[in-house]
Amino acid sequence: MNQIWRKGFALLLSTILSCFLVIGIQNYTRAQQTPVTLETSLLTLEQVGDNIYALISDTDYPPANENIAICNAGIVIGDDGVLVIDPFHNQALGNLLLSEVVKLTNLPVKYVLNTHYHFDHTGGNKAIKAQEIPIIGRGTIREDMLAKNQESDPTPTVPNLVINNDSNIWLGERVVELEEVAGHSGGTDVIAYIPDAQVLFAGDILFNQKFPYIADGNILAWEATLDHLKAKYPDATIIPGHGEIGDRFSLDSLKGYLYELELMARKWQELGLSEAEAIASAEKIPEAYQDYRFQGLYQKNLKTAYQQITLKSAPKS
């Protein structure tokens, strides 16, 4: 009897697994065959200033197929050329971004900026390299991409222009100010501000109405950066790395979430809770965040808060 049951269970399990495999393969094949457009990538092109555009992704994580964009991107058109920000996670999406630029202007793309090293913002560099356009990144971005992006992007195309200070890009008379900030990605975060239009591309320093990915960052440094940006750019239109276009209130919301995490982790410390006890005490997603996307990160973020704040073992930035 026991053996029959076991056989039956094995058969059921293998049937379920095969179904998942078939669905997975179908999705993959469909993604390979379908031409990549804004619509298929779940992207919306939005004008955010004079000659400044954002491509806003409307996906949860993980996306339903490989050609759905995970992050947002930017297009800044100057007098003599274009800056493109974050060319998505693969070559097809990088090419899509370049083809959108051609629809907007005859000017050439002069630079591409990676706001940090994570694969969802840098995998599309392959399309950029093929066009021989310089790719800008900050600090240890090359090393980090090669060492840490292996799983999602085993052969990364790294930036060939690395900045180690705040820097300006001139597109004719239009300036784009690059500022190094801390908090999200261990020393590779850089934001881009266009003063003549008061538009800020914040990269993943801002997740808008989505749980942020903090395992690679530093909660306290990130909170300080959000306060700094709010004070420095009170009237800016802010394009997050993930989520809808926002403003200083969006910075505030994310700061509020991180601060709540911080307070919770300090409380765990006072109470002397183990990690398992701490996570169990905060198991349910609070009402205020029920509508947030990337819900898979909720519990991971509790663990990170425990490590960084309860146990005080935060990385440097």
List interacting residues with Zn ion (CB under 5 A): 71, 120, 204, 241
**How far apart, in Å, do the first and last CA atoms of the chain sit?**
59
Of the pair 196, 244, the CB lying nearest Zn ion is at 244
Angle between helices 248-271 and 296-305 (to 10 degrees): 50
Question: Listing from the earlier edge strand, what are the strands of the sheet with 199-207?
Answer: 167-171, 174-180, 190-194, 199-207, 237-242
Biggest CA pair distance of the chain? 81
Tokens found for residue 189: 């975060």
Q: Which is nearer to Zn ion, 73 or 176 (CB)?
A: 73
Smallest distance from Zn ion to CB 234, Å: 25
| Residue of 145, 130, 314 whose CA lies nearest to 220 | 314
Nearer to Zn ion, 171 or 258 (CB): 258
Task: Tell the smallest beta-carbon distance from residue 264 to Zn ion (Å).
Answer: 24
For residues 115 and 203, the answer to whether their CB atoms sit within 8 Å is yes
**Which of 70, 82 has the CB closer to Zn ion?**
70
Q: Which residues does 32 contact at the CB level (< 8 Å), separation at least 6?
A: none
Q: Smallest distance, Å, CB 213 to Zn ion? A: 6
The full DSSP string for 108-124 is PEEEEE-SSS-HHHHTT
Helices (H), 75-215: 91-104, 119-122, 125-130, 141-148
- How near is the Cβ of 300 to Zn ion at its closest, in Å? 14
Alpha helices in 136-247 (DSSP H): 141-148, 219-232
Closer CB to Zn ion, residue 157 or residue 185?
185
Nearest residue (CB) to Zn ion, 120 versus 189: 120
Is the CB of 57 or the CB of 65 nearer to Zn ion? 57
Closest approach of Cβ 57 to Zn ion, in Å? 10
Strand pairing partners for 74?
A: 54, 85
Minimum gap (Å) between residue 198 Cβ and Zn ion:
24
Rank residues 57 and 237 by Cβ distance to Zn ion and give the closer one. Answer: 57
Output b/e per residue, 11-29; b: 16+ Cβ within 10 A: eeeeeeeeeeeeeeeeeee
Reduce the DSSP state of residue 270 to 3 states and report it.
helix
Q: How far is the CB of 86 from Zn ion (least distance, A)?
A: 8
Q: How far is the CB of 258 from Zn ion (least distance, A)?
A: 16
Helix (H) or strand (E) holding 296: helix 296-305
